[in-house]
Amino acid sequence: MRLDVLTIFPEYLEPLRHALLGKAIEQGILSVGVHDLRRWATDVHKSVDDTPYGGGPGMVMKPGVWGPALDDVAAGTASGEDLTSSLPHVDKPRHDELAGVDKQAYGGGEDSDLPLLIVPTPAGKPFTQEDAQAWSNEEHIVFACGRYEGIDQRVVDDAAQRYRVREVSIGDYVLIGGEVAVLVIAEAIVRLIPGVLGNRRSHEEDSFSDGLLEGPSYTKPRSWRGLDVPEVLFSGNHAKVDRWRRDQALLRTQAVRPELLADVELSTADRKVLGLD
Ligand code: SAM
């Protein structure tokens, strides 16, 4: 997968070189280009924003800068160095890689030669795990990081000629700029690319994959500060452990995000645990 990020703060994207993403870069699964938007600014001050038509506070990012930048990135003519991995990781296999489960892609990718342009904005459609799964099959994703009051809307409208454009929000709050949203979205997508986590099961059981929040997890020691790991996890009975995990996921979802249960198919046993029957 190829990621390109357009931003006025390239250094904000440094975390994309670390941990699993850095490892994916090193393995050749991922390449990342981070481009300073000011390279496309034409005035002496390299300005990228101007006052809003119709008045109001704040500044709006200029179409005359964003348009050529997005054209160049779509055409592959935006020069610059790709991010390098922060550390050598390749020789250190993870626990779930050692499990030796086949690397398999999720379905749901869109069928088009155009790259995907993701424009983070609080006014966008909420970003979900389902989007992350579908987009983990993409070959080329471009991110446009807004600042100030955002980007002139015509940039997004015009980009639809060269991209499949998605305006997405990472939550109902307002950040200062799109860079942090890009880190969130890129991390959620890249971890689902086959080979990045190694074992597909490790994300198939994550929160949201089956519509529920994941229940609690435990590791050694068995007893810590007077708190014991639930007995069932030592039973060796996989069916019993699976049932317990399902119950915990149901109860946590009911307590924290009850609205999610409306989209989950509940068995008789599930309904009983939730006290619905
Ligand atoms: N005036 C915009 C509005 O009210 O919808 C807010 C602009 S915000 C200060 C500046 C930039 O931060 C946005 O262009 C976007 O890139 C990013 N941003 C802020 N909140 C976000 C969110 N919840 N999800 C995704 N991106 C966000």
Percent of the chain with pLDDT over 70: 91
Determine whether 271 is an active site residue.
no
User: Can you tell me the distance from the alpha carbon of 69 to that of 65, in angstroms, rounded to the nearest whole number?
Assistant: 6
Is 198 within any annotated ligand binding site?
A: no
Domain boundaries, the chain: 2-199, 207-274
In the set 26, 36, 149, 210, the catalytic residue is 149
pLDDT recorded at residue 203: 73
Each residue's pLDDT tens digit, 166-199 = 999 999 999 999 999 999 999 999 999 998 986 6
The CA–CA distances, whole Å, from 243 to 209, 213, 247 equal 17, 15, 6
What pTM value is reported for the model? 0.93
Convert the chain into a string of H (helix), E (strand) and C (coil): CEEEEEECCHHHHHHHHCHHHHHHHHCCCCEEEEEEHHHHCCCCCCCCEECCCCCCCCCEECHHHHHHHHHHHHHCCCCCCECCCCCCCCCCCCCCCCCCCCCCCCCCCCCCCCCEEEEEEEEEEECCHHHHHHHCCCCEEEEECCCCCCECHHHHHHHCCCCEEEEEECCCCCCCCCHHHHHHHHHHHHCCCCCCCCCCHHHHCCCCCCCCCCCCCCCCCCEECCEECCHHHHCCCHHHHHHHHHHHHHHHHHHHCHHHHHHCCCCHHHHHHCCCC
Ligand 1 shell residues, CB under 6 Å: 120-123, 145-147, 149-150, 169-171, 173-178, 181
**Per-range mean pLDDT, top range of 86-90, 134-138, 195-199, 201-205:** 134-138
User: Can you tell me the distance from the alpha carbon of 84 to that of 91, in angstroms, rounded to the nearest whole number?
Assistant: 17
Residue nearest ligand 1's atom 1 by CA: 149
Pocket test for ligand 1, best of 62, 165, 174, 183 (most atoms within 8 A of CB): 174
Each residue's pLDDT tens digit, 39-84 = 999 999 999 999 999 999 999 999 999 999 999 999 999 988 899 9
For residue 178, the CA-to-ligand 1 centroid distance in Å is 6
For residue 95, the CA-to-ligand 1 centroid distance in Å is 37
Phi-psi domain of 55 (left: phi exceeds 0; alpha: psi -120 through 50; beta: other): left
pLDDT recorded at residue 81: 86
User: Can you tell me the distance from the alpha carbon of 105 to that of 52, in angstroms, rounded to the nearest whole number?
Assistant: 44
Is 28 within any annotated ligand binding site?
A: no
Is CATH 3.40.50.720 the right assignment for the domain spanning 2-199? no
- 151 CA closest ligand 1 atom index: 14
Is the pLDDT confidence value at 101 over 60?
no
For the stretch 265-276, what's the b/e string if a residue is b when 16 or more beta carbons lie within 10 angstroms of its beta carbon?
eeeeebeebbee
Determine whether 122 is an active site residue.
yes
Percent of the chain with pLDDT over 90: 84
Nearest to 13 by CA among 81, 67, 73, 78: 81
Indicate the CATH number for domain 207-274: 1.10.1270.20
Determine whether 187 is an active site residue.
no
